[in-house]
Structure 1
Amino acid sequence: MQQNQDLIMIGKKIEERKYEFADAMKQEENEAPENREFRAELFQLFADGLQKGNEATKDEVNAWGEHIGRLAIEQGAQLDNSLKGTMEFRVYLWNALEDITKEEDFSKETIFKVARSVDPLLDHIVYAFSTSFVHSYKASLEKAHQEFLNLSAPVVPLLNGVAVMPIIGSVDEKRAYYMMDTTLNEAMKQQLSYLLIDLSSVTMIDTHVANSIAKIVTSLDLLGVTAILAGIRPEVAHTMVSLGIDFSEIKTYNSLQQALSIHVFGKRE
């Protein structure tokens, strides 16, 4: 019972001095004010853990770790630097606990009980933070990839019923699916009669890419939209032939300019 009262007393002292401890850990003169608050919140978690028990503090720890993990991603922090910061915090926390226990002359049993509370709590905080950091990092990558997809398959209107879709870079399975979906939706939305597919920035092509283009052309044909391939490089044309994909029924031009001159600026075929 006495040891529990001692833990509560130590927790209260940490709570009373949390801003003092947070200021002592300051490393930069012009640091953001919220950094001091974050450190004070972290000391408060340990104060709560000692006063109420780790189990009763678990939800609070998880919420704090998740919040800081997301914030770290938003601020562009690196996980290794953040984890290094937790190691520095562990050292400072134990120095602070040592000072408090010496001031009050707590027993060895109390100090051991503090250790059995503090170390698992810090490990749990690190776990909550790291998990949130990784999840937020994956979410940011997925968002960036989606934004790339949005920009990588634009269907740009030229005239009423005519648009161009430039294909730039490599085409993987996910991008091929997105291109198909975007092309068909835009063809209906813009009420296209012609879609010029610009391949001038495609330097390499494989069976997957060629088949994806063929499927787009076939699907557009079912919607009554004529697909026109433009800017096919000689090496790409050779690869298409060697892959056995038949583009003989599709209008093809060696440059986008040539295709535009016929189907936009000239008389459409």
Structure 2
Amino acid sequence: MKSTLTVAHYLKENAELLANKIVDDIIKKFGFQVSEEDINQAIIVYAEFLSFLSESIDCEEGSVPEQLLKWSRENGEKTAAKHNRISDILIRYPDTRMVFADFILNVSAEFGLSTEDVILILKRVHHMLDVSINETVLAFERKSEEILEKTKTELRELSTPVVPIENGLAVLPLIGTIDADRTEHLMNNVLPKIPELQIERLIMDFSGIVDIDSEVASHIFNIYRVLGLLGIDVLVTGLRPELAISAVSEGIDFSSIKTFANVKQAISAINK
């Protein structure tokens, strides 16, 4: 007990100095450059790490310093924001573990700790590093999903523009793959804006659609019906045979739909 308390006091009193040595030893093992900012931040984190370790030596296992958790999350988020791989961070942990293990063994030998005490301290160190890895990966995944969702939203905005052609006439080009998310975006964000643009006629152009299933085909033609209820004359262009077959299989009646081969033909028909 006396030996572990002595070690705890040593770690706490020399946390910053020891952290500098640990970070220096870790970096020497890396086969890549580490920025000065990352080095300084690591020293701060590991100084708190050692200080916390000193307090937890004779306490119940399970807690982790808040600074370590914050640093781990920030590492994960920063890596995701730069579109780097999570492996860029995880590759550092084996060397970090080895340096910490050597450090603990050296300190334990210096202060004459028992094997049981050494194992206890190593368990605390590895527990905190494991929690750090978990927090880093979870933060990376959350940030990556956030970036992906933002990108998808931006793409939906770009891929479903209402393009004015002349007074009262506009084109809604449907581009790419139409899925449930795109359909929901059309219903909730595009359709409500069309009456505000004082559009009397709208050309829905399907020529840029890559793929569409029967369920989404049904939703798309529901959009056609909604526009009709709003008093907007809708013309359909670029309807390929396979898309028409999907629509028919859903029981959609084409008899009332004005269809043209392309946008140019539709505009010519309007101006006759």
* TM-score, normalised relative to structure 2: 0.85
Offset of residue 255 of structure 1: 0.7
Which of 72, 83, 93 lines up with 2:90 in the alignment? 83
Instruction: Find the counterpart in structure 2 of residue 191 from structure 1.
Output: 198
Task: Give the total of aligned pairs.
Answer: 265
- Structure 1 residue 50 corresponds to structure 2 residue 57: no
How many angstroms does 1:105 deviate by?
4.4
Output the CA distance in 2 between the equivalents of 1:206 and 1:97.
Answer: 61
The answer to which of 239-248 and 54-63 deviates more is 54-63
Q: Which residue of 2 aligns with 1:134?
A: 141
Offset from partner CA, 1:119-164 (integer Å, 9 cap, x none): 2111221122122122112212211221221122111222232211
Task: Tell me, yes or no, if the aligned pair for 1:207 and 1:243 is still in contact at 8 Å.
Answer: yes
- Which secondary structure does the structure 2 equivalent of 1:77 belong to? coil
The amino acid of 2:262's aligned partner reads: S
**Structure 2 residue aligned with 1:9:** 10
**Residue in structure 2 matched with residue 70 of structure 1 by the alignment:** 77
Q: Which moved more, 1:35-44 or 1:85-94?
A: 35-44
1:115 matched to 2:122: yes
Task: State the alpha-carbon separation in 2 of the partners of residues 98 and 212 from structure 1.
Answer: 66
CA-CA distance at 1:28 after TM superposition: 6.2
Work out the percentage of aligned pairs sharing the same amino acid. 27
CA distance in 1, matches of 2:49, 2:83: 27
- Which stretch shows the higher mean deviation, 204-213 or 188-197? 204-213
The alignment status of 1:213 with 2:220, answered yes or no, reads yes
Moved over 6 A (4+): none
Quickly say closer, same or farther: Cα 1:57–1:236, change in 2 above 3 A.
Answer: closer
Residue 212 of structure 1 and its aligned partner are, at CA, apart by 1.6
> RMSD of aligned C-alpha atoms?
2.5
Task: State the partner residue of 1:157.
Answer: 164
CA displacement at 1:197 relative to structure 2: 0.7
Q: Which residue of 2 aligns with 1:92?
A: 99
**Cα distance, 1:58–1:211 mapped onto 2, change above 3 Å:** same
Write the letter of the residue equivalent to 1:101.
S
Contact 1:203/1:236, CA 8 A, preserved across alignment: no
Deviation at 1:45, TM superposition (A): 3.7
Q: Which moved more, 1:238-247 or 1:161-170?
A: 238-247
Name the stretch that deviates more: 199-208 or 51-60: 51-60
Structure 1 residues 222, 243: CA separation in 2 closer, same or farther (over 3 Å shift)? closer
Amino acid at match of 1:20: K
Q: Deviations over 1:65-84 (max 9, x none)?
A: 22221112112232234223
Structure 2 CA distance, aligned partners of 1:14 and 1:31?
Answer: 22
* Match for residue 101 of structure 1 among 95, 108, 113: 108
- For residues 189 and 52 of structure 1, the distance between their equivalents in structure 2, rounded to whole angstroms, comes to 65
| Matched position secondary structure for 1:76 | coil
Deviates most, 15-24 or 51-60: 51-60
Q: Any gaps of 5 or more consecutive residues in structure 2?
A: none
Instruction: Provide the secondary structure at the position in 2 that maps to 1:252.
Output: strand
Secondary structure of the structure 2 residue equivalent to 1:195: strand
One-letter amino acid matched to 2:24: D
1:22 pairs with 2:19: no
The residue that corresponds to 2:42 in the other structure is 39
Contact 1:66 1:132 in 2 (8 A): yes
In structure 2, relative to structure 1, the CA distance for the partners of 1:203 and 1:39 (3 Å cut) is closer
Q: Which whole-Å CA distance do the structure 2 matches of 1:169 and 1:47 have between them? A: 54
Structure 1 range deviating more: 254-263 or 232-241: 232-241
Q: Could you give the per-residue CA deviations for residues 168-196 of structure 1, whole angstroms, max 9, x where no partner exists?
A: 22211121111122331221221211111
Unaligned runs of 5+ in 1: none
Partner SS for 2:194: helix
Matched letter for residue 267 of structure 2: L
In 2, Cα distance between the equivalents of 1:113 and 1:120? 11
8 Å contact kept, 2:238–2:262: yes
Once residues 87 and 21 of structure 2 are traced to their aligned partners in structure 1, the CA distance between those partners, rounded to angstroms, is 27
Secondary structure, aligned partner of 2:161: coil
Counterparts in 2 of 1:30 and 1:134: CA distance versus 1, 3 Å: closer
Residue identity in the other structure for 1:251: K
